[in-house]
Amino acid sequence: MTRILGALLGLLTISVVMVAPAQAQTLAILMPGAGGAVPGDFLMRNQARIEGAGIQTLVTTSSSQAASVSQAETAKGRKVVIVGMSLGATHVASALAAGAKVRGAVLVSGVYEQAKANLGSPALLPTTLMIHHAADGCPMTSPDIARNFQQWAGGKATIRWINTRGGEDPRPCGPRGAHEFFMQDGPAVSAIVSFIKSR
């Protein structure tokens, strides 16, 4: 019984799949932050807005699943873009290192030092959009760390800075402050959708 329960819990934490209309020709693989696929996560609370732009979505916390799905969908001739939020950026990096086939990547408030370690080389990066708040106070995702990652990427990554004022959070890495653009998601979501459509 314990073994079965453990297996079920493992399945629940690996992935949650959501899709937009089946005719969508573009798939966005969304990889949420440290809390997983919870309503407060930036990608989760904006998933419907991304789908509303005619983009199919799949949500997963598994880098191997992201890699295999991207390979399968690309083989069908579909356009795939991978999107990671905060810690999810490290999962994106692992998926790319595992052979994910994507037209582009979006890293939102990424944990970039760990993402660099998971990638090993900027040669594995596709064209990448980084979305970062200029007032992000999380020590793992400071604006300076974002700039360093952009420089390391060697021209493969560009930063879209967000400067809007939104909610305040006593936890600098929390979901209700600049780190996750709380109450001011619009510019970040628009940038994600525009990038995906451009790929």
pLDDT (average), residues 155-173: 80
pLDDT band for 166, please (50, 70, 90 cuts): low
14 phi and psi angles, rounded to 5 deg: -75, -50
**Strand ranges across the sheet with 15-16:** 15-16, 56-60, 26-31, 79-85, 104-108, 128-133, 157-162
Written as one letter, the residue type at 130 is: M
- Using one digit for the tens of pLDDT, what is the confidence trace for 133-151? 998 888 999 999 999 999 9
Provide the pLDDT for residue 183: 75
Tell me if 84 sits within 8 A of 60, measured CB to CB: no
CA-CA distances (angstroms) from residue 125 to 90, 104, 122, 148? 12, 8, 5, 15
Tell me if 146 sits within 8 A of 187, measured CB to CB: no
pTM of the model: 0.86
Query: Could you give the domains of the chain?
Result: 16-198 (3.40.50.1820)
